[in-house]
């Protein structure tokens, strides 16, 4: 399948949002991405601020592959040492 315009975009990440604006930010991101929204993450930051990330399936799988590449392989001995 050829890459479409959605595939070139990075995941929408809103760095600092107060609690009462989270629904509005999520609504705007869903309007931008349409029905292709796969996951929504809301993470609490400092001083009652929140980070909102809205991903499509393609963005999610791409991020998961990147994290897997960066993660070192653990051995059985590493697990037993914990």
Question: Using CA atoms, how far apart are residues 58 and 75, in angstroms rounded to an integer?
Answer: 30
Sign of CA dihedral 44, 38, 20, 51: positive
Has residue 61 been placed in a domain? yes
Grade residue 9 by pLDDT with cuts at 50, 70 and 90: low
Residue 79 located in a structural domain: no
Using the predicted structure, report yes or no on whether residue 5 has a pLDDT greater than 60.
Answer: no
Residue 19 confidence (pLDDT): 93
CA–CA gap between residue 21 and residue 7 (Å, rounded): 27
Q: Please give the pLDDT value at position 80.
A: 63
Domain extent, residue 41, equals 11-71
Query: Is residue 51 domain-resident?
Result: yes
The answer as to whether 78 is a domain residue is no
Q: How far apart are CA 10 and CA 19, in angstroms?
A: 24
Domain count, the chain: 1
27-74 confidence digits (pLDDT tens): 999 999 888 899 999 999 988 899 999 999 998 889 888 888 887 666
pLDDT > 60? residue 4: no
pLDDT score at 8: 44
């Amino acid at each position: 399948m050829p890459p479409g315009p959605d595939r070139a975009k990075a995941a929408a990440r809103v760095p600092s949002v107060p609690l009462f604006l989270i629904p509005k930010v999520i609504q705007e991101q869903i309007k931008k991405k349409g029905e292709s929204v796969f996951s929504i993450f809301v993470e609490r930051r400092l001083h009652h601020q929140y980070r909102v990330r809205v991903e499509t399936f393609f963005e999610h799988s791409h991020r998961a592959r990147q994290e897997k590449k960066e993660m070192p392989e653990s051995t059985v001995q590493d697990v037993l040492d914990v």
